[in-house]
């Protein structure tokens, strides 16, 4: 029997979407907990499109996605880790089904920083955005403890020496938006890089916010702690 291209049995799709083991997903269908395109599903073996099928589990609506791409407005006091040590995890802000899919963050933001986080279960996409070889920009805005100077900005642009680094590390760009506000763009993702660079240049970061990764700017109307799916065009512009 010919199987339609791009389809999966319903139970396998539910498993892929993070709803549990295939056995659990079959039981969900048999228990009348699943609808597909508004119709109660009765057969867990029925084939559905892996991309774009509207369905609901326990009344919660979803659309099937072969790969997921998410943007989150990270709030203060959350660690970008599945095993946080001192704060809540950003993964607790996502539906458990997305966490179960194994979505991973592109880079990190420390607990005292806010801004754009991107998540995906597409390994090639994550590698592209995180690899220094592709030089995808990450933009940060930092509030400084002391007013910045032209010498301070020049040092960031030309390179500062960080501990455990063999050569000086330079920003792709750096400018003062106000006397105590720095916008800095990096193409790397070293541990606490902005804070360490600012300290090496003779200042100190009080607050740190990441408004953009590559071509994607955070939607400031997205409340801190909230997330959304990326549109296909946004993923393509990022290199997905």
Alpha carbons 61 and 35: distance in angstroms, whole number: 9
Q: For residue 104, with 0-12 CB atoms within 10 Å meaning exposed, 13-18 middle and 19 or more buried, which class applies?
A: middle
127 Cβ neighbours under 8 A, 6+ residues apart: none
Catalytic residues: 110
Q: How far is CA 200 from the centre of its chain?
A: 28
Alpha carbons 93 and 77: distance in angstroms, whole number: 12
Q: Is the CB of residue 17 less than 8 Å from the CB of residue 97? A: yes
Among 91, 73, 71, 74, residue whose Cα is nearest residue 82:
91
Give me the numbers of helices (H) and strands (E) for the chain, helices first please.
7, 17
Among 222, 211, 147, residue whose Cα is nearest residue 185:
211
The 3-state DSSP class for residue 173 equals strand
Alpha carbons 180 and 229: distance in angstroms, whole number: 34
193 Cβ neighbours under 8 A, 6+ residues apart: 162, 169, 186
């Amino acid at each position: 029997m010919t199987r339609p291209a791009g389809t999966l049995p319903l139970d396998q799709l539910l498993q892929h979407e993070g709803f549990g083991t295939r056995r659990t997903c079959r039981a969900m269908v048999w228990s009348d907990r699943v609808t597909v395109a508004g119709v109660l599903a009765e057969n867990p073996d029925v084939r559905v499109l892996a991309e774009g099928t509207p369905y609901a589990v326990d009344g919660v609506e979803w659309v099937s996605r072969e790969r997921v791409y998410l943007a989150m407005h990270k709030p203060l006091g959350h660690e970008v880790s599945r095993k946080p040590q001192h704060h809540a995890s950003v993964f607790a802000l996502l539906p458990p089904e997305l966490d179960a899919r194994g979505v991973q963050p592109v880079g990190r933001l420390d607990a005292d920083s806010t801004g754009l986080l991107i998540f995906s279960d597409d390994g090639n996409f994550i590698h592209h955005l995180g690899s220094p070889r592709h030089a995808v920009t990450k933009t940060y805005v930092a509030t400084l403890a002391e007013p910045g100077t032209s010498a301070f900005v020049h040092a960031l642009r030309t390179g500062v020496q960080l501990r455990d680094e063999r050569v000086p590390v330079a920003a792709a760009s750096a400018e003062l938006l106000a006397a105590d506000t720095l916008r800095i763009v990096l193409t790397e993702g070293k541990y606490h890089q902005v804070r360490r660079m600012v300290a090496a240049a003779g200042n100190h970061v009080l607050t740190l916010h990441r408004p953009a990764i590559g071509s994607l700017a955070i939607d400031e109307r997205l409340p801190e702690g909230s997330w959304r799916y990326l549109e296909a065009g946004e993923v393509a512009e990022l290199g997905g």
